[in-house]
Amino acid sequence: MNPIITGLLLAGALSIFVITMSGRVGVLLAMKKENRLDHIPYRVAQLVRFGLGQKRMVDPEEFTPGLFHIFIYAAFMVLALRTVMMFAMGFSTTALDVLTDLSHPAWDAAPPLLFLYRVYLLTKDLVAGLALLGVAYFVWTRWKVKPDRMSQSWEAYLILGFIAGLMITEFMFGGSHMVAANAAAQQVQMGATQVPSTPSALVWWEPITSVVGLAMMPLGVTVAHALGVAGFFIHLVIILAFLNFLPLGKHFHIITGLPNVFFQRTHSTGKLPTPNLEKEEFGAATVKDLTWKNGLDLYSCTECGRCQTHCPTYITGKPLTHKGVNQDLKHWLWENEKWVEEGYGPSGVKEPLPEIIGSALKAETVWACTSCGWCEQACPVFIENVPRLIDMRRYQVQVKAEFPPEIQRVFEGMERQGNPWGIGQDQRDEWASDLALPTWGDGGGPYEYLFFVGCAGSYDDKQKKVSRALVKILREANVSFATLSKQEMCNGDSARRMGNEYLYQTLAKTNVESWNAMGVKAVITQCPHCFNTIKNEYPEFGGEYRVINHTQLINELLKDKRIKLSAVMNTGTKLTYHDPCYLGRHNGVYDAPREVLNSIPGLEVVEMQRSKREGFCCGAGGGRMWMEEHIGTRINHNRINEVALTLKHAEDPNTPYPDATDKKKPGMVGDYKEQGGKGIVAVACPFCSTMLNDAKNDTGREQIQVKDITELVADSMEVTNKGGTVSPSPVVNAKPE
């Protein structure tokens, strides 16, 4: 078209882009190093599945917007090659002639290549048309629907305009050449002096471009050519302007999103990175204490707001949204690149970086998180929000000693008595004083399982009943197990997630050393937090055990007919199940609890709107079990309201039930204030049990019973074993379902 204009546009735009990107890359290089080049085959597979394949974009709760986003994404991927072609056309007349005229003699020597090119043009036309539909959908969504999770901004409309412009100018450019080709062909057929009577037929390889060409034909060859040239250069300008705009806003993810998917963690979201305390890694004080992957996460945040949809802190008015945290940190980094890279502060002289808390974030924001993991489950580009916040807590606890005052006694209890309540270690086995349980290391055995009772199962009055119910089930099934009795200590989950990494590692190393010396190979837990910590985090300290949650074990015992459920609950009793975050979302155990509940005669199991991967947190995770809620509404109140509404709706389908697809106000099922809704909410976590029991009492919902699955099974189970021989236990698959 014009090599000089094309060259000047390209050189100028690329120069600006390199300057901008040098600052962005420089910040990442200045941040803490982290190895993310392990498990390459897994990373490549995840990149194909979730990056190139966009699997998370069409998760059920966001299927429609995800599908339209894929339309636009596909257009970008396919038109990337077309953009290269257009720059080649700008520099070379030959390239222009060959690529726009499929009757050019150059194609005669390569018919297969011509066919492939036509297939590419067909694909290009179709995805460009779908991209325009996507643009129209998102304009409508932002302008009229205004979903709660979307932030209104001029940037979004500008980018949508850019995308639409790219597609329209592509059609204009192609259409102008069809006008010229049609005129030339008809002049050859009819004679140069005759006026063509009708336009030629559409071509199958560019159907939409053909329609545009037909629409342009009445304008004449000269005007169509001018529009084509304008479309060509506007297309190039948009591409180059778009390129330089990407590093300045949320659409930076177009560049960083795929790398971020590739560099995602390769383990359960329930596992936190383990700092080296001997090297004085005491948490994140400044942004340079965050890793380069944390920085890439910030660059990759699309601000789509999916992380807010079921976020317990956002729904209940706490000062934390992960989208907001990402924006605040990202903008602070961009505004202070020279400070991060070279140490030169706003005054132009070298000075220390400020602490994150106080400069970019507020302390209450960092302490609000329940670590439920929804934000990471929902994020299309696999941003790791929770580990970053926990690292900030570590610095606050271990270096500054600034943390919510109520958790001081929790730390002291763990340090002195091995449990967060601070109750005497000598009372740890009083719950089983009349059960004559075997103790690991007492000379009996060998035992197949260590039953790790946990602090709640040992000290909390409600959870003691669950411990006893589980013993009843294990004995009926002849499962070979023993406890640690008074020697059991806390696994350290709450200490770690409240930022006391030193205390956690002390407890973890002590437990692992003791258990390994005893020859422990398999562990039964009744607490998802114990399950997650022992299964996912203890291996770093040498604790390699087969860890089984009680719901998984009970399910296998039922399948193997080791236990039988025959006692019928009150026929028609309505029951709903609350998914514990650390069992479901962090470890993928969704089916086993439900299969157990469906095996109990007389129960009618109904699902809550927010269940399984979309389950709503009880508010106790991330150490929040031990902290007060001073801001917004209580998270457990929101959840018990949903329980009540679910049970009420099961009783009376005429009870209004908010539309699950309503994106304007997420969490409406938690706004239910009416009484009614008699039945059971089944739990599989002592924290959830405590929070939901407190919530039902606070809200006056005494008609709702909170029961652990173990209690329900024990009540329904036939008891036939009178102390016979112990048979081999089932090998339970503890992997995600």
pLDDT tens for each residue of 438-488 = 999 887 878 999 999 999 999 999 999 999 999 999 999 999 999 999 999
Query: What confidence tier does 571 reach under pLDDT thresholds 50, 70, 90?
Result: low
Residue 729: exposed, middle, or buried by beta-carbon count in 10 A (0-12, 13-18, 19+)? buried
Check if the beta carbon of residue 683 is closer than 8 Å to that of residue 578. Answer: yes
**Residue 188: predicted pLDDT:** 67
**Residue 597: predicted pLDDT:** 96
Q: What is the dihedral of CA 280, 284, 287, 293, to 10 degrees?
A: 90
Mean pLDDT of the chain: 92
List the single range of 198-202, 208-212, 242-246, 557-561 with lowest mean pLDDT.
Answer: 198-202
* Residue the block writes with tokens 């605040």: 328
Angle subtended at Cα 165 by Cα 201 and Cα 139, rounded to the nearest 5 degrees: 110
Reported residue count of the chain is 737
Tokens of residue 79, six digits: 């038109």
Residue type, 333: L
**Residue 724: predicted pLDDT:** 40
**Residue 126: predicted pLDDT:** 96
**Residue 277: predicted pLDDT:** 94
Q: Which has the closest alpha carbon to 640: 601, 677, 587?
A: 677
Query: What confidence tier does 2 reach under pLDDT thresholds 50, 70, 90?
Result: confident
Q: What is the mean pLDDT of residues 412-441?
A: 95
Check if the beta carbon of residue 575 is closer than 8 Å to that of residue 680. Answer: yes
DSSP-derived letter for residue 380 is T
Residue 193 has pLDDT above 90, yes or no: no
Residue 660 has pLDDT above 80, yes or no: no
Q: What is the mean pLDDT of residues 135-147?
A: 92
SS3 577: strand
Residue 123 has pLDDT above 70, yes or no: yes
Residue 384 has pLDDT above 50, yes or no: yes
pTM: 0.92
**Residue 379: predicted pLDDT:** 96
SS3 453: coil
DSSP-derived letter for residue 537 is I
Side-chain-side CA neighbours of 367 within 13 Å: the count stands at 20
* Residue the block writes with tokens 């974030």: 361
Q: What is the mean pLDDT of residues 692-710?
A: 96
Domains and CATH numbers, the chain: 40-191+198-260 (no CATH), 268-403 (1.10.1060), 407-716 (no CATH)
Alpha helix (H) residue ranges in 528-590: 528-532, 550-559
Tokens of residue 305, six digits: 């707001």
Q: What is the mean pLDDT of residues 504-531?
A: 97
Residue-wise pLDDT for 53-97, tens only, equals 999 999 988 899 999 999 999 999 999 999 999 999 999 999 999
Tokens of residue 322, six digits: 């992960």
List the single range of 138-142, 192-196, 382-386, 684-688 with lowest mean pLDDT.
Answer: 192-196
N-term to C-term CA, the chain: 58
Side-chain-side CA neighbours of 163 within 13 Å: the count stands at 30
**Residue 185: predicted pLDDT:** 72
Tokens of residue 351, six digits: 């000075």
Residue 352 has pLDDT above 90, yes or no: yes
Check if the beta carbon of residue 724 is closer than 8 Å to that of residue 614. Answer: no
**Residue 737: predicted pLDDT:** 61
Residue 197 has pLDDT above 60, yes or no: no
Percent of the chain with pLDDT over 90: 85
Tokens of residue 566, six digits: 């025959």
Query: What confidence tier does 103 reach under pLDDT thresholds 50, 70, 90?
Result: confident
Give the helix/strand (H/E) hosting 525: strand 522-525
Q: What is the mean pLDDT of residues 361-372?
A: 96
Residue-wise pLDDT for 18-51, tens only, equals 999 999 999 999 999 999 999 999 999 999 999 9
Query: What confidence tier does 668 reach under pLDDT thresholds 50, 70, 90?
Result: confident
Q: At what angle do helices 292-300 and 322-335 cross, to 10 degrees?
A: 110
SS3 439: strand
Residue 733 has pLDDT above 80, yes or no: no
DSSP string, 262-298: HT--SS-TTPPP---GGGT----SSGGGSBHHHHHHH
Residue 662 has pLDDT above 70, yes or no: no
**Residue 198: predicted pLDDT:** 45
Q: What is the mean pLDDT of residues 493-500?
A: 97
Check if the beta carbon of residue 213 is closer than 8 Å to that of residue 175. Answer: yes
**Residue 439: predicted pLDDT:** 95
Give the helix/strand (H/E) hosting 377: helix 374-378
DSSP-derived letter for residue 355 is P
